[in-house]
Amino acid sequence: MDIKTCIEKRFFVKAAPDQELSEKELNESVYDFESAKKAVKEEDYKWCIIKCYYSMFHAAKSLLYRFGYVEKKHVAVVVVLEELNKEGKIESRQIVNFKAAMSAREDADYHYVYDKDAAEHDLDMCGDFFISVSEALEKV
C-alpha cells in the first residue's frame, strides 16, 4: 500500500502541517510510556505492552501531524512511516519496531499472549522509537 492508495481509501488525509497537534501527540506518547513503565513494575505485562504500542502510535502521529497527514486507520501510520523512511527522515528499524509493537498489542489484547520478557522488550523498543521520532521532529 502507498500514500496515494491510503488517501483514496480515506485511511488518512493530507492537511496543513500542525505543530500544536504534533506537540499534543508527543505529550500523549510520553504519558503512555510512563504508564507502561509503571505497569511493568506492577507486573501488569499486558497493560505495559498495550501502553507501549499507544506510546509509539502517538509518537508516530506526532510525525504525521508535523508533515501534514491526519490518520484515520492505524495501518496508515505504517505507510507514512515507510514514506518518511524513503525520504531519510526515520530509520527502517523503527518501522520494524512499530509493526512489532502493533502485533504485540494485538496478541496481548485479543489472544491473551503476554509476559515479562515481551513487556520489557516493548519498553526498550518504545524508548528507542520515541528518541528517533524526537530527533526527526527536531530536523523539521
First to last CA, the chain: 25
How many independent structural domains does the chain possess?
1
Q: Up-side HSE of residue 138: CA atoms within 13 Å toward CB?
A: 6
CATH, residue 121: 1.20.120.330
Distance CA 88, CA 40 (A): 33
Distance CA 19, CA 67 (A): 9
Q: Is the pLDDT of residue 50 over 90?
A: yes
Domain that holds residue 51: 3-139
Res 103: pLDDT: 97
Tell me the whole-structure pTM to 2 decimals. Answer: 0.94
- Residue-wise pLDDT for 69-123, tens only, equals 999 998 889 998 998 899 999 999 999 999 999 999 999 999 999 999 999 999 9
Give Cα 14 to chain centroid, integer Å. Answer: 19
Cell of 81: 512511516
Contact of 80 with 71, CB cutoff 8 Å: yes
Q: pLDDT above 90 covers what percent of the chain?
A: 81
* pLDDT band, very low/low/confident/very high, at 3 (cuts 50, 70, 90): confident
Q: Is the pLDDT of residue 1 over 90?
A: no
